[in-house]
Chain A
Amino acid sequence: MIYALETNQLGKRYGKRWALHNCTLHIPQGCIAGLIGLNGAGKTTLLHLAVGLLKPTEGTIDVLGTSSRNPAALLPHIGFVSQERSLYRHFTIGDTLIMGKKLNPSWDETHAHRLIERLKLPCQQLVGRLSGGQQAQVALVMALAKRPEILFLDEPFAHVDPLVKRELTKILMETAVEQPLTVVVSSHIVSDLENICDHFIILTPSQVKLAESTEQMGELHKRLIGPRESFESIARSHTVIQASHTGRQSIALVRTRLPVTDPVWQIEDVSLEEIVLAYLASHENAHTPLQPVQFMKEVIR
């Protein structure tokens, strides 16, 4: 099976510091995967490794079955929006589109203009004069007009107002209906991603903490509320991601495949956002690091 993105023991070191370490991921084609992590967790490093802007210090990274070490063959199939948006400030939007057309064999001119119109972007305006949010939109249009098979988006919604954010999200999801598309999109805001992603990759500084489908995340994580004296036995049989104790009561967010049978525990479902926040916070409390979990399920299509 050819994965959209496959990494094995991938690592990138800057001097003495590992920006990414032991990263093993298998993202099936057709996924919309959210890359979540706090600032400096390694999201951008992973994306730059994927598109060939960085070379790994160790391990391998393949996109659509081709090594990112030699990105030339890959580039026509990849759409990438960097955090800096990487646009020419002295070009107008119109010139930028012409450049896109000349540089990309698979460029879809009609699609590009339709998107620019839909987003009401001023074609005559210099890119350097646009707001941060408008530049983000132009960058996304450039990436989509290439009709890529896989899109890597680094914080695409930063500096974008809520209405435009909604419009961009719709455009992305519509694209995923119209053509086969895999998306890897990073953000540190869970609510931006929770309805659009079917998989999540949670990074805490340099480590993959969790990588699985949103469906599994929902099934495997529970909140348990019960007496403090029974907490130890729960912690023995289930993986505690986060726990707090007040007086005689314990509240724990656990990951488990086993049913909780002890009736003293009240079991609740947990929202995606709470699960993600628990993982992000958990690296500060010294829990045993979890084995990175691979995407096991295929995307249903």
Chain B
Amino acid sequence: MIEFHLEKRTGVAPYMQLVQQVRQALRLGLLQPGDQLPTVREVVSQIAINPNTVFKAYRELEHEGLVESRPGLGTFVLKSLARSSPAEQEALREDLIQWLRRAFAVGLDTESIAALFSNTLHLLQKEESTPTT
């Protein structure tokens, strides 16, 4: 079961935050097909939020084909967004931890690491999208 949280100081609408958290859990394999999302009532008691916001988030996820609402039963996950198995992800995480330790060791701070990461990711994506001659 997923637990939601809300961040106040972002420009992201609360319903979109819920949508993103579900997508994230699907990507990481924390939510898998057949799993049930918390009921609206449960979310409301958990994070003190307007029930319409939760309805809206679930409708959006349903619209994207990620979940399905079964009347009287609840909302269930239809498909996963994880591209790799939990074991593969764990192995990658191990590599990443090694790499992060090295980055800290040479004196990079969190912001520089994040900048380096997103910059490299960006470059790589650009390289892969331009056809090689």
Contact = CB atoms under 8 A, between A and B. Distances in A.
Contacts of A214: 13
Given A215-B13, A269-B11, A195 B44 contact: no
A219 B68 CA distance: 27
Nearest to B48: A169
9 contacts: A173-B45, A176-B44, A177-B40, A194-B8, A195-B48, A197-B50, A198-B53, A270-B11, A300-B52
Contacts of B52: 30, 32, 198, 299-301
A222 to B, nearest CB: 10
A269 B11 CA distance: 6
A122 interface: no
Given A178-B41, A271-B10, A300-B55, 5 more contacts: A30-B52, A166-B48, A173-B48, A173-B51, A271-B9
Interface residues of B, number: 21
B56 interface: yes
Contacts of A215: 13
A44 to B, nearest CB: 24
A177 B41 contact: yes
B28 interface: no
A32 B53 CA distance: 11
A200 B5 CA distance: 23
A148 B106 CA distance: 64
Interface of B: 6, 8-11, 13-14, 40-41, 44-45, 47-53, 55-56, 59
Contacts of B44: 170, 173-174, 176-177
A101 B93 CA distance: 60
B40 A32 contact: no
A195 B46 CA distance: 13
A58 interface: no
Contacts of B10: 271
A191 B48 contact: no
A161 interface: no
Contacts of B9: 271
Contacts of A218: 13
A84 interface: no
B41 A191 contact: no
A196 interface: yes
A229 B99 CA distance: 48
Given A174-B41, A300-B55, A198 B8 contact: no
A268 interface: yes
Interface in A112-166: 166
Interface string A188-208: 000100111110000000000
Contacts of A270: 11
Among B41, B45, B48, the one with the most A-chain Cβ atoms within 10 Å of its Cβ is B48
Contacts of B49: 173, 195-196
* 5 closest Cβ pairs, A-B complex: A269-B11, A169-B48, A173-B44, A170-B48, A177-B51
B72 to A, nearest CB: 15
B13 A173 contact: no
